[in-house]
Amino acid sequence: MYNLIMILGILILDRMTKYMAVEYLQKIDTFPIMQGVLHFTYAENTGAAFSILTGKQDLLIVVTGMVIVVMSYYFCREKKHMTAIAQIAMSMVIGGATGNWIDRILFDYVIDFIDFRLIDFAIFNVADSFIVVGAVLLGYAIIFDKASA
112 noted as active-site residue: yes
CB 94 within 8 A of CB 138: no
For the chain, counts of helices (H) and of strands (E): 4, 3
Residue 103 appears among annotated catalytic residues: no
What is the rounded CA–CA span in Å between residue 7 and residue 88?
Answer: 9
Catalytic hit among 14, 103, 115, 128: 128
Catalytic-role residue among 112, 115, 120, 145: 112
Residues involved in catalysis: 112, 128
